[in-house]
Amino acid sequence: MIRGMRWLTGLVFGLQILPATTAASQNVDSLMMRLDSPDWRERSVAAGALGRLPASQRPPGFADKVIALLEYEALNPDEAAIAGGEGYGEYTAELVRVVLGLDDPRALRGIALIGIGTGLAAKEFVASHGAASIPYLDEAWELSALKQDAVAQTWALMLGQFPDRLSRTERIQVLGRLIAAAEHNTRAFSIAARRSGLPELVAALNEIAENNPDPRRRAFAAYDAQPLLPVRDALAPAELHARMFDLLDAVCLDAAGDKLQTCTTLQGYLDAGYSDGNTLDTLAQQAELAEQQGILNPYEQALFAGNAQYLIKSQHLTVTRSVGASADTYIRLGDKNTNSGTESILRVQRAGDNRALLRFDKADVTALVASGTLVSAKLALTIVDNGNNWGPEGRTVEVIRLTQAWTELGATWNCATDTDMSNNQPDCPDGAWEMSDVGPNPWEPTATATMFFTNDLTGVVQFDVTADVQAFLDDAAADFGWIVMGTDTLGSGTVDFSSRENASPPQLLLEIQF
């Protein structure tokens, strides 16, 4: 310990206290030779003494020597000295300061490899040299994980403080490196995103803040996003949309295979503009799907989905989202104890009284509406077979909100939930219901929606169920779904809709304004 303190005292003397007059009085040639010493302490004293000479008094070759020495220290650090805490770090920091004072582009590699970790001035020096710095920063990133924070921050300075030193192609290359950093070192990306001043990166910071398993990383990301939020709010939608093209080009650098196809798809939606809510919403969905398929990483996905959703909300656009039925079946008067929950059709038939039951998961609907306002909700059913027996003028089919719980694999004409489907008997002590016209029936007295069915009607039919869905969302009514039935007690009429076991399941179409 005493020996180490003696050396530190000597180092301080050599690097900080040695007056210029003393340095000048020494044999300059000797100091130059000591720069080549195998002992870093000797190199330290020589570099400090020569570095404090006025530029006019420095010997020829001084710049070449210290620039080469800086690269040497970057590539050959004295691990023992570092571990021993003997002042090696102070020596390299002083060497960086000396080399920075030369303002020599030849020093770019050395400062990129070791200098950017010492402070802002070194980072700015490297960033200010634009594209020439890119390969050296790549080298530094690979050299040590400990350097990655500083490398990412230097990339950020290149993008935020010195963008004019880069062509667009070069800027995309740097942006691509910064985005890629998020997958390998979220902390490095988080700090750099804040330093960059680029509000389009907020979406990736939000991804870290919401989903990173490390609570500290989540907190850091939320903190780093804060100064970028007002910058994003001040951006015109057209400007944020334009920046998304840069993000796409950065993420898709050297893309091939499935990723190239995804990039092409996202490009198409971006090309469609920024003022159509459904286009932006589909773009977000495509990005999320690509992440689920392992094509995009979570941070790449967030940059497209997050920014697209922000454009929707900031412009108060309207989108149409859909959710498939979570349960459906149909029940039959002619077979009162049979369940049809696994069939591919939902039959509605007046003659014989077949009625369809449908339900949609409230949590799914709530998630889709999220912070928006429900404008409309429509129950969409696909006709797979029309009996064409609706009479010459047609007949009415109605959708009515159910008031009793039921199960997809237990509902029959007699039971909301039959507990034993094998015995052809009504086994529903807690789930019986009355389907006959005498009632009381397990549905509201007034139909939610009606539609006139005619012969040859095909395709998708839609029933307006906005009031019911809003009541579900507001917890003003229990969500047991709907029953679909014919209304003419004397006439015929048969239609088969596609069930959720089919290729075109029942859908709830939600129009939402944000």
Q: Give me the mean pLDDT over the 112-141 stretch.
A: 97
Q: How far apart are CA 316 and CA 30, in angstroms?
A: 73
79: confidence class by pLDDT, cuts 50, 70, 90: confident
- In this prediction, residues 65-89 reach a mean pLDDT of 89
Structure tokens given for 36 = 């080549």
Pair 369, 514: CB distance under 8 Å: no
Cβ density class 13-30: b for 16+ within 10 Å, e for less: ebbeebeeeebeebebee
% of the chain beyond a pLDDT of 70: 94
- pLDDT number for residue 8: 40
Environment class of 375 (CB within 10 Å of its CB; exposed 0-12, middle 13-18, buried 19+): middle
Residue 483 is encoded by which pair of tokens? 């029953």
pLDDT score at 439 = 84
Exposed, middle or buried by CB within 10 Å (0-12, 13-18, 19+), for 432? middle
- The two tokens of residue 381 are 């059913």
Q: Cis link prior to 445 (omega < 30° from 0)?
A: no
Cα three-residue angle 335-336-340, rounded to 5 degrees: 70
Token couple for 430: 């807690």
What span, in angstroms and rounded, lies between the C-alpha atoms of 345 and 381?
11
| pLDDT at site 12 | 40
pTM (two decimals): 0.82
Buried b (16+ CB within 10 A) or exposed e, 92-102: bbbbbbbbbeb
Cα separation, 319 vs 308, whole angstroms: 12
**Band of residue 489 on the pLDDT scale cut at 50, 70, 90:** low
Give 84's pLDDT tier (boundaries 50, 70, 90).
confident
- Dihedrals phi, psi of 383, to nearest 5 degrees: -80, 125
What DSSP assignment string belongs to 138-172? HHHHHH-GGGHHHHHHHHHHHHHT-GGGS-HHHHH
pLDDT at residue 446 greater than cutoff 60: yes
Looking at residue 226, the DSSP 8-state letter turns out to be G
3-state DSSP of 319-377:
EEEEEECCEEEEEEHHHCCCCCCCCCEEEEECCCCEEEEEECCHHHHHHHHCCCEEEEE
Nearest Cα neighbor of 408 from 359, 482, 341 is 341
CA distance 80 to 99: 24
Amino acid 332: pLDDT: 96
* 450-477 residue pLDDT tens: 999 999 999 999 999 999 999 999 999 9
CA distance 487 to 194: 63
DSSP letter at 200? Answer: G
State pLDDT tens for residues 322-352. 999 999 999 999 999 999 999 999 999 986 6
The overall average pLDDT reported for the chain is: 93
Q: Residue 181: name the closest of 127, 141, 124 by CA.
A: 141
* pLDDT tops 70 at residue 416: yes
- What distances in angstroms separate CA 407 from CA 151, 358, 431, 441, one per listed residue? 58, 10, 10, 17
More confident residue, 491 or 5: 491
Strand partners, 513: 318, 373
Query: What CA–CA distance (Å, rounded) separates 137 from 501?
Result: 55
Average pLDDT over residues 184-197: 96
